Amino acid sequence: MSRFFSARYADLTPYTPGEQPQNRRYIKLNTNESPFPPSPGVAAAVEAESRRLALYSDPECVKLRKKMADVYGLGPDQIVMTNGSDEVLNFAFMAFADEEHPLAFADVTYGFYPVFAQINRIPYTEIPLKSDFCLDPADYIGLNKTVVIANPNAPTGLALPLGDIERIVKSNPDNVVIVDEAYVDFGGESAVTLLNRYENLLVTGTFSKSRSMAGARLGFGFGSKKLIADLNTLRYSTNPYNINRLTDAAGQAALAENDYYMANCRTIIENRAWTTEQLRSLGFRVLDSQTNFVFAESPDIAGRELYSKLKDAGILVRHFDKERLQNFNRITIGTKEQMQTLIDTIASITGGDKP
C-alpha cells in the first residue's frame, strides 16, 4: 500500500476472481463461463461496429434496451444495462442500502456482496444457510433490511421456488429486495413475472453465463421505473458510457439469436445431469444444481487436494478456502467431452474404477 492510499479503503479486502491462466491450456471449469462460442451474428456485428469506435457509445442503449424489452416482456424504462451484472449490483447497493437499510445476504453466496458492502461502507449481516446449504425463507420474512439473494445460488447451485421469493419481497415492503439471477437460464424460476406487482423488487442478470459473453461484460437490472431511474442517477454520476459500442452491438446480435443460447442451456442441463450421476457413482455428494456448475465433495479426498491434482492434470475447477466449503469444489459444466475427461481424471485420482 502506498502512503497515498486513502484511509477509507485501507482495510478493504478485494474480491478474488477465479484464475484466468495465460500460460497453459486448461480444460477451464473454474469460472462458470460457457463452453460454446457466441452466436455467428455476434462476430459480424462487432466487426461492423468496430468501424464506428471513434464515436462515443449510446449512454441510453436505446436499441439494446428495446430488444431486451421484447425478449423479457418489459418496458424499456424498466431496464438498465451495465458493465457486467457486477456493476448493477454495485449501483444497487449504493442506491438502496445504507445505515438505515443495512444489507442481509447468505453466509454462503456470491463473494462480491461483502466487497460491495465494504467499499460502500454499508453494514451487512450474513445469514447462515441451513446445514444442507438450503436457504430458509423464514430468515428473510419481515427482516426489514435490504435483502440480496442469488437465485439460483452460487456456489451451491441450489434454487428457491418463486413462491418463497415472492413472500420475501412482499414481507419487506420498505426495503429493496435484490434477486441476482445470473444463473436463472439453467433451470431456475425467474422473478421477472413479479415485477409489475412489487415496486421494491430488483432483478439482475448477465450475458456472462448463459449467453457466452463473459469477456464482453454485459449485465442488466430490471425493476420499477423509479428504481431504474435511481440506478441511472448513479450510472450517470460514475460512467454514462458504461456499455461500449462493441458490447452494445454484441448484445443486440445475441438477442436476435436468442434461440441458439437457450438451446445451449438445454445442452448444459443434460451434461449437468450426466456429470452429477457420474460423480455420485464415484461416491461424491453433489448438491442438486439448477445452474451451469455443480458443487461436490468426495468422502475420499479433501477438496483442496482434488483441486490441485486436477490442476496438475490440466483441469481447472474452483476451490473456496472458506470454512464451510473446504471439502467442496465448484465445477463448471462444459461440453460432454470435457465432462468425460473430468470424470476419467477424477476416477484415476481417487483410484476408483471408471463408472
Ligand X SMILES: *Cc1c(COP(=O)(O)O)cnc(C)c1O
Figure out which of the listed residues 35, 84, 187, 221 binds ligand X, where binding follows CB under 6 A.
84
- Position closest to ligand X via CB: 84
Window of 78-86, 133-141, 276-284, 337-345 that interacts with ligand X by CB under 6 A: 78-86
33 belongs to the binding site for ligand X (CB under 6 A):
no
85 belongs to the binding site for ligand X (CB under 6 A):
yes
Q: Kindly report the three-state secondary structure assignment for every residue of 13-40.
A: CCCCCCCCCCCCCCEECCCCCCCCCCCH
Please, what is the minimum distance in Å from the beta carbon of residue 216 to ligand X? 9
Q: For residue 50, what are the CA distances in angstroms to 45, 53, 246, 254, 324? A: 9, 5, 7, 17, 46
Which residues in 155-184 contact ligand X (CB under 6 A)?
180, 182
Figure out which of the listed residues 208, 210, 212, 224 binds ligand X, where binding follows CB under 6 A.
208
Secondary structure class of 213 (helix, strand, coil):
coil
What's 352's DSSP letter? P
219 belongs to the binding site for ligand X (CB under 6 A):
yes
Please, what is the minimum distance in Å from the beta carbon of residue 234 to ligand X? 16
Please, what is the minimum distance in Å from the beta carbon of residue 40 to ligand X? 22
Window of 17-25, 55-63, 79-87, 123-131 that interacts with ligand X by CB under 6 A: 79-87
Phi (first) and psi of residue 209, to 5 degrees: -100, -70
Q: Cβ closer to ligand X: 334 or 349?
A: 334
Distance CA 289, CA 316 (A): 19
Please, what is the minimum distance in Å from the beta carbon of residue 110 to ligand X? 4
Q: Which residues pair with 296 in a beta bridge?
A: 286, 329
Please, what is the minimum distance in Å from the beta carbon of residue 221 to ligand X? 11
- How many Cα neighbours within 13 Å face the side chain of 36? 23
Q: For residue 230, what are the CA distances in angstroms to 140, 225, 266, 329? A: 24, 9, 36, 38
Figure out which of the listed residues 33, 86, 185, 248 binds ligand X, where binding follows CB under 6 A.
86
Pairing of strands 293-297, 27-28: unpaired
User: What is the C-alpha radius of gyration for the chain, rounded to an integer number of angstroms?
Assistant: 21
Q: What cell numbers appear for 158 in the block?
A: 441450489
Phi (first) and psi of residue 259, to 5 degrees: -60, -35
Window of 4-12, 82-90, 158-166, 190-198 that interacts with ligand X by CB under 6 A: 82-90
Please, what is the minimum distance in Å from the beta carbon of residue 80 to ligand X? 13
134 belongs to the binding site for ligand X (CB under 6 A):
no
Q: Cβ closer to ligand X: 46 or 182?
A: 182
Q: Cβ closer to ligand X: 238 or 308?
A: 238
The residue ranges of DSSP E strands in 272-341, in sequence order, are 285-286, 293-297, 315-316, 328-332
Please, what is the minimum distance in Å from the beta carbon of residue 155 to ligand X? 8
223 belongs to the binding site for ligand X (CB under 6 A):
no
Window of 35-43, 80-88, 332-340, 347-355 that interacts with ligand X by CB under 6 A: 80-88
Residues composing the chain: 355
Interface ranges with ligand X (CB under 6 A): 32, 84-86, 110, 150, 154, 180, 182, 206, 208, 214, 219
